[in-house]
Structure 1
Amino acid sequence: MPRGAAEREARGHDRSRWNGQKEARVMTALVTGVVVIAALAAFAQALSGFGFALVAVPLLTLLAGPQTAVTVVTALGGLLALAITVHQRRHVQGRTALLVTGAGLVGMPFGLLAITALSARSLSVLIACVVLAFALLLARGATLSRGAGSAAAAGFVSGALLTSTGMNGPPVVAAFQAMELQPREFRATLQATFCAGDALAVLGFLAVGRLTADNLLLTAAGLPGMAVGWWLGDRIFARTDPRRFRKIVLTVLVASACMALAQAALT
């Protein structure tokens, strides 16, 4: 082999090895970030009763982009909701959960259309705006009027938001607050609704090609962090003022949404 060709081949091997090492470092940093974010989000939900997706989606968007963030957080949130639902299954109001889930199923295709049609920048802006709007509504303690119609409307909106932004909680929370469910029934039925909605959303992501091998890897990586975060939050819950912590969570939501908006503006 001529000397020049050998040198070019050697440089090509060096470049390939460098690119491989760079990709490995990026993936390691991303996996570490997913573990930390999943732990923080589960910790927040254990203490305040809400906020897994609201905390995790904007933070993971900064690391991995909005499409990956929505897919991974929805899968993780569904697994967390499943564990809670199984543990508290005696308190689930089945008819209410079915009504909201059925309405959410109707809204999901609209969200899938958004996540496949919008650019990463546009989706980041949408996610940030949704977080800011929900933070404002939650801070004001907003509720909906009572009745099956309001519950169905909340389910429809939550389904569309779930598959487009990964954040479907506040409409359902507002509807359940209006129903004046008992605390145990409220929490159990809410998690059952999240579990069913997330499972349907994951099937939708699979249908449109969003459930990739990398997304599955990141989902698996987040499981240990999610478990640790929930365990710590559950232990501290009895000694923490929920109202004070809700204020902290809302502050985190606003900050993360502002960071997502800034990132979208700079890209």
Structure 2
Amino acid sequence: MFTEVLLAGTVLLGSSVQWLTGMGFALVAVPALVLLLGPVDGVVLANCAAGAISVVGLAGGWRRVRPAAMVPLCVAAACTVPAGAWVTRQLPEPALLLVMGSLVTVAVLLVMRGLKVPALRGTRGAVAAGAVGGFMNSAAGVGGPPVSLYALNAGWTVREFVPNAQFYGVVVNAFSVAVNGVPRLSADQWGAVAGAMLAGALAGRALAARIPEKRARLLVLVLALAGGVTAVTKGLWGL
């Protein structure tokens, strides 16, 4: 029962920030999900939940998707998703925790710094961001930061970024689930996840009108950084 409560709380928090800012479910939830369920099931559950939220969110913004950028991003991600899944199956759990925590921590720090990289512009930049994002999504459940950096270097506004990030989330998470399979959860755990996702959607929408966007994004990144450092610490301890 205690595991279900922690699982529901993690998914609730991740869902809330996803609806609040348009990103962040995996960044916030993956470190905790990995600690609760193990690296494989934790990552795949994050893929399932983030993909489902992206599908719902995209329903109202699909007309603002930019095919010229999204096609190379998604094709590149599809090519690297199997490599990330292979890495997940090969490494022992402490090493996986260390790798996942490190990926989350580095990704958050790069996004917080707003790294400007000329190579992340145009079609080549889309391919590079998609390839790295696909690998990270299937290996660590966190594929959004490379796309965020691409959007930053392309000069996208938040209004432009959100629907395109949701489209990418639908595609890359679908590929990741197809390769990794679905998480092995009990009926009670699935019920807790579904209820928490619904509650998170309601909470996120209610908070969106009250919390400034910049402050909300900073909160997401701080929570993600704390989770990444925790996963690194547990991985090092296990080694």
* TM-score, normalisation: structure 2: 0.91
Which structure 2 segments of 5+ residues have no match?
A: none
The Cα of 1:190 is off from its aligned counterpart by: 1.0
Tell me: CA distance 1:82–1:262, structure 2 relative to 1, closer, same or farther (3 Å). same
Matched, 1:231 2:202: yes
Mark the structure with the bigger radius of gyration: 1
Contact 1:44 1:233 in 2 (8 A): yes
Contact 2:51 2:174 in 1 (8 A): yes
1:252 to 211, 219, 223: 223
* TM-score, normalisation: structure 1: 0.82
Tell me: CA distance 1:183–1:139, structure 2 relative to 1, closer, same or farther (3 Å). closer
Tell me: CA distance 1:176–1:77, structure 2 relative to 1, closer, same or farther (3 Å). same
Tell me: CA distance 1:102–1:126, structure 2 relative to 1, closer, same or farther (3 Å). same
The letter for the 2-side match of 1:245 is A
Matched, 1:96 2:69: yes
Tell me: CA distance 1:220–1:202, structure 2 relative to 1, closer, same or farther (3 Å). farther
Matched, 1:35 2:8: yes
The sequence identity of aligned pairs, in percent, is: 26
The 2-side partners of 1:157 and 1:97 are apart by 14
Contact 2:20 2:208 in 1 (8 A): yes
Matched, 1:141 2:114: yes
Corresponding pairs, count: 236
- For the residue of structure 2 that corresponds to 1:101, the secondary structure is helix
Matching residue of 1:196: 171
Contact 1:91 1:185 in 2 (8 A): yes
Contact 1:128 1:258 in 2 (8 A): yes
Matching residue of 1:12: none
The Cα of 1:218 is off from its aligned counterpart by: 4.1
The letter for the 2-side match of 1:38 is V
Contact 1:76 1:219 in 2 (8 A): no
The aligned runs of 1:125-164 (5 Å cut-off) are 125-145=98-118, 146-164=121-139
- For the residue of structure 1 that corresponds to 2:201, the secondary structure is helix
Matching residue of 2:83: 110
The Cα of 1:130 is off from its aligned counterpart by: 0.9
Which structure 1 segments of 5+ residues have no match?
A: 1-27
Tell me: CA distance 1:258–1:141, structure 2 relative to 1, closer, same or farther (3 Å). same
The 2-side partners of 1:168 and 1:200 are apart by 12
